Structure 1
């Protein structure tokens, strides 16, 4: 039987993905977990079992509480963005996404700047508020980080619920509270559960936030695997914590995929509802809405603004000393090069270079696979591509370092690790963009002689350039923000923005960390605006990452 060219392309794409995942994902993780230095070297005693149970309990507890708090805070906002046309609605949706694209280490800096003992909140209230470096710090940072996910998922799902249900119930004499709990909440249940479980997974695999704020008392499975591997040098215990985390995260990843599918099916035949003007609301509703958005604005924007403001203030006066210290040697008593083990221009060059390399490889691979799978319902392969989302990046980083550390350079291993970090998300975007291309246009171009790269250059790129630009920008943004892979693979030999900031925090040079973080936010915000204000707009990128594919 002779296969045609598209079939050969699809089979080749399947094999390429399989080989890449086998060589650089399955093999390193399998070697680390089940090799001689992994579980085979493990000696489980009562202390290890007790430590594991305690760590699992805390990991599940903090992830559960963080996800519930994120959803509860986002519920009123989800209703408002899906039902009310209020002032600055688009701006609110865009700004809410900023924490989502920030590295965890910068979220930590924001929390310290706003909620710390000498933070803005403590100064405003003239109290010593201890909200960080403990469990409350972990919880606040996780909600700050994941609010946008809950807002997007629930808001999008709520907008697809037909108003006819509530109108019919109201005509039968049901109260607004009864309609919400008996009808709306039941229809929203798959959407809310998918948001809860997805945020749970993110918090369950949280690394940087728990590493800094947890201290000695609070450690998750991710942090314990890191500590056992690099601090205690106990490969067996590190493998044990990593295996338990892998099993639990795969289970919850399976659950979220099931609930997302149900949520899509429930709203597939409905159309978005019309928005109510803000002025048409009652006076009480307008006041309540305004109070809610002011609170959310302070919660989300306050830490970002306080971080930027404190980076340009020294001794109560405006000053550029922190920025000058970063770039001009000898301008302060601290040796920045010794603190971050590099100079700032090199940090910028390294960060941008690795991000562009990782992002470019990720985008090209995702786009190629999307082209090969266009028009083909291969749910098995698409699900397989999502596998890295259920795998701890600490586990992958350790596996790459142990398995390939003597063969490949650490920078190459970082790029490989970041490929798996970004590929599932970027593939969802490119698959959705390529899938929207009209097949008749492609067939017409082929009949006129266009094929291969010429077809991509003359047809796909001109028509899909904005959506593909979004996917590429997002690929670079994800890799640019990576902290976990660089610190676990590089182990001090590679300094990027997040790693340099982490070192400055460790040496209590908060003013320098604030300045470096502000520089990162300027770069990141520019990239984010390119993503969110392009043709897909209105946050469809995040919705596409979560609900499509």
Structure 2
């Protein structure tokens, strides 16, 4: 009984936070769009879904998400095998390189591919080939962004499977492929499904990549919600599209939770010892070098070209675009400050959002430490919703709901960190929860028997064991806060833009200076996010040697 009371007490602040800054804004947008004079107008659902243009957006959203997922699995599964089974020099560095794209803001990814396949990009200069207004640019950018999801999700389990099981099947007469298909593939199935669902979720709700690379030709649900809200002020259509995306995300999260439970069952049935060997034979070395080539061409090349474009001034290579970032006089007319100020704004917003996310996510993780029934699983899934629900809807909802006392925050500096923290909380929970659940409950019980209060139990027992996980969670929350774009684009004030907002505005204006400044700001944003990731890698690999 006491444990239940403590758990509910820990959940009070997270539930209030999500109710005020997530559920309330989203419900307000949907309510305004589907009501007229206080009466619900559900006929708008039929009207919107009967629009051929909207049906085309729905079809493209599903099609590109499915194609992106299939292409990502095709490209990344060999890499997952290489990282799981092979031991080679530079493995930890290569893992860090693979993970860098995932924590990069989507506007940086879009800018990188724009520098590669867009007008004046490398392919355009060499062969006159432009892909920035084709679906291939979007698909390749999604593979770039989600490669690490497959490598880490599938590779993590693959490395825990005992290779002797497959070897035993081959001794009994099965061929190499038959042994892999009958022994390894069924064990990997839940992990592959979980990775595929996460990639599908991220690409289904894609915004920044499609906004930059798709142009006016291609539009996902998220992009269409933004257009209907910001360009046309058509709240009924935006509300219907938000509901569709919300239902789809709920279904994907439910499927993902089911596959995760299956994966956990699989992990208990197999040998968890990692067995990595140096590559042997021409085939294994070819697979290793092929993986290195894919990572170099698909993940590293766009970032290198992005950096190169940021230094390619009108009179040759130099720092002219970086030099102009500090001057408000040379800034785009949509800026009230120098573009470089967006960097300091982003760092300040990110620090504040990280602090909020650690408090909210830490309390939620502590409350969900003990495995429970449907209520606990439901709360766990609730905390994941901000990753899939339209950030555009949340941002616009902030503007129309947080405008009256005692929550009149429209002119408050804290509005942006609050929106960014919504995205950071799920990463904090996902990072800390497994570690908290691994703490021996008998230690807590012994401390309680000796008279320690719940707070002292947490301070003396849990905190020393989860300190590194807490730092890692802070790093992830900071990185994703820096890159948040969908909500921030609505609520960031012109005199306090964030880096992603500044990059998007510069890319939306014509002129070599605007383009060069966008590349320079994207490079700075990439360096900051990569630095945060490398710090995380140092924490992850210290003492354990694991990623």
Query: Is this a same-fold pair by TM over 0.5?
Result: yes
User: Is the 8 Å Cα contact of residues 353 and 420 (structure 2) preserved in structure 1?
Assistant: yes
Q: 1:449 and 1:319 mapped to 2: Cα distance?
A: 66
**Relative to 1, partners in 2 of residues 1:530 and 1:7: Cα closer, same or farther, differing over 3 Å?**
same
Matches within 5 A, 1:473-512: 473-490=475-492, 492=494, 494-508=496-510, 509-512=514-517
Task: Count the aligned residue pairs.
Answer: 530
1:287 counterpart residue number: 286
Counterpart check, 1:28 vs 2:25: yes
1:274 counterpart residue number: 275
User: Is the 8 Å Cα contact of residues 40 and 236 (structure 1) preserved in structure 2?
Assistant: no
Tell me the secondary structure at the aligned position of residue 193 of structure 2: helix
1:320 counterpart residue number: 319
1:224 counterpart residue number: 224
Matches within 5 A, 1:148-159: 148-159=148-159
Instruction: Give the structure-2-normalised TM-score.
Output: 0.90
User: Is the 8 Å Cα contact of residues 33 and 238 (structure 2) preserved in structure 1?
Assistant: no
Tell me the secondary structure at the aligned position of residue 41 of structure 2: helix
Q: CA deviation at 1:379?
A: 2.9
Structure 1 gaps of 5+ residues are 542-549
Tell me the secondary structure at the aligned position of residue 89 of structure 2: coil
User: Is the 8 Å Cα contact of residues 430 and 471 (structure 1) preserved in structure 2?
Assistant: yes
Matches within 5 A, 1:165-244: 165-244=165-244
Q: CA deviation at 1:437?
A: 2.9
Q: CA deviation at 1:443?
A: 4.8
Structure 2 gaps of 5+ residues are none
User: Is the 8 Å Cα contact of residues 14 and 381 (structure 1) preserved in structure 2?
Assistant: no
**Relative to 1, partners in 2 of residues 1:17 and 1:288: Cα closer, same or farther, differing over 3 Å?**
closer
Tell me the secondary structure at the aligned position of residue 173 of structure 1: coil
Deviations along 1:317-362, one digit per CA (max 9) or x if unpaired, are 43111111112456xxxx2163533224532232112111111011
Q: CA deviation at 1:417?
A: 2.2
2:525 counterpart residue number: 520
Give the one of 344, 347, 354 matched to 2:342.
347
Tell me the secondary structure at the aligned position of residue 96 of structure 1: helix
Instruction: Give the structure-1-normalised TM-score.
Output: 0.89
Q: 2:326 and 2:348 mapped to 1: Cα distance?
A: 19
Q: 2:65 and 2:546 mapped to 1: Cα distance?
A: 26
Matches within 5 A, 1:13-92: 13-35=10-32, 40=41, 43=44, 45=47, 48-92=50-94
Q: 1:36 and 1:323 mapped to 2: Cα distance?
A: 43
Q: CA deviation at 1:108?
A: 0.9
Give the one of 356, 359, 367 matched to 1:364.
359
User: Is the 8 Å Cα contact of residues 41 and 236 (structure 1) preserved in structure 2?
Assistant: no
Tell me the secondary structure at the aligned position of residue 233 of structure 1: coil
Q: 2:545 and 2:396 mapped to 1: Cα distance?
A: 34
**Relative to 1, partners in 2 of residues 1:539 and 1:247: Cα closer, same or farther, differing over 3 Å?**
farther
Q: 1:534 and 1:350 mapped to 2: Cα distance?
A: 26
Q: 1:35 and 1:522 mapped to 2: Cα distance?
A: 41
Q: CA deviation at 1:494?
A: 4.2
Q: CA deviation at 1:482?
A: 0.8
Q: CA deviation at 1:526?
A: 1.4
User: Is the 8 Å Cα contact of residues 350 and 496 (structure 1) preserved in structure 2?
Assistant: yes
Matches within 5 A, 1:386-397: 386-397=384-395
> Which segment drifts farther, 410-419 or 230-239?
410-419
**Relative to 1, partners in 2 of residues 1:540 and 1:336: Cα closer, same or farther, differing over 3 Å?**
farther
